[in-house]
Amino acid sequence: MVKRTVVCGWALALVGAGCHPGSSDPRVNTALGVQSDTLASNIITRPIGDFISMMVGEGIEVRDVKERKTDAGFLEIQISGYNHSVARKLFDYKVEWLDADGMVVDTAMSRWIQMSAMPKSEFAFGAIAPHPRAVSWRINTRVNRNVQ
């Protein structure tokens, strides 16, 4: 009987680990500890969910890329995504701009920029081309170990 209860608890925690309710509007994200406790977030089952999240190596997912041209003819981009992890994700990104021939446009803006994505939250960052002749781009990322 005890065994069955433990197994059921684990199963429920596993199912609940991915859920993160707390707001009726997806634009409003309520963090753990701010929202009411759920099966996935209460003090007993949360460590299990955290452990699973860590074991499966949850990270960020890029969900949307937007582009537009400013009035002055500069290409502007916005990258939006979601951090699936139960931990804050710190990373650096670097945008490189390319001209119509695929040549990299040299700019001080092509530097590693810090980004922080809160646990189980949406995030977004943007960039603007250094010159109207920059018509394309590419982004690289790396783990940031220098930020607390």
Partner 1 sequence: MLNKVLPIAGLIAAVSLSGCGGPTQNIDVTNDPGKAVLELDYRDFDQAAAAMVQSLIQSGSLKKAGGGRYVVATGRIVNDTMQRIDTDQLMAKVEKDLLNSGMVVMTSAVGGKGASDEMIYQVRDIKKGDRQDEFDPNSMPATRQIIAPELSLSGKILQRNVRYDRSTQQVEYYFQLHLTDISSGLRFWQDEKIIGKRGSRSSVPW
**Token representation of residue 78:** 């916005």
Contact mark string toward partner 1, 58..77, x via CB under 8 A: ------------xxx-x-x-
Return the ∠ at Cα 79 (arms to 73 and 85), rounded to 5°.
170
Tell which positions 128-147 bind partner 1, by CB under 8 A.
128, 130-132, 142, 145-147
Which segments within the chain are labelled E, that is strand?
Answer: 60-69, 75-83, 89-99, 104-105, 113-117, 121-128, 134-143
Q: Provide the phi-psi class of 73: left if phi over 0, else alpha when psi is between -120 and 50, else beta.
A: left
Nearest approach, Cβ of 66 to partner 1 (angstroms)?
Answer: 14
Stretch that binds partner 1, among 15-23, 42-50, 77-85, 107-115 (CB under 8 A): 107-115
Window of 19-27, 36-44, 47-55, 102-110 that interacts with partner 1 by CB under 8 A? 102-110
**Judged by CB under 8 A, does residue 106 bind partner 1?**
yes
Helices (H), ranges, the chain? 2-17, 46-56
Residues that bind partner 1 (CB under 8 A): 70-72, 74, 76, 106-114, 127-128, 130-132, 142, 145-148
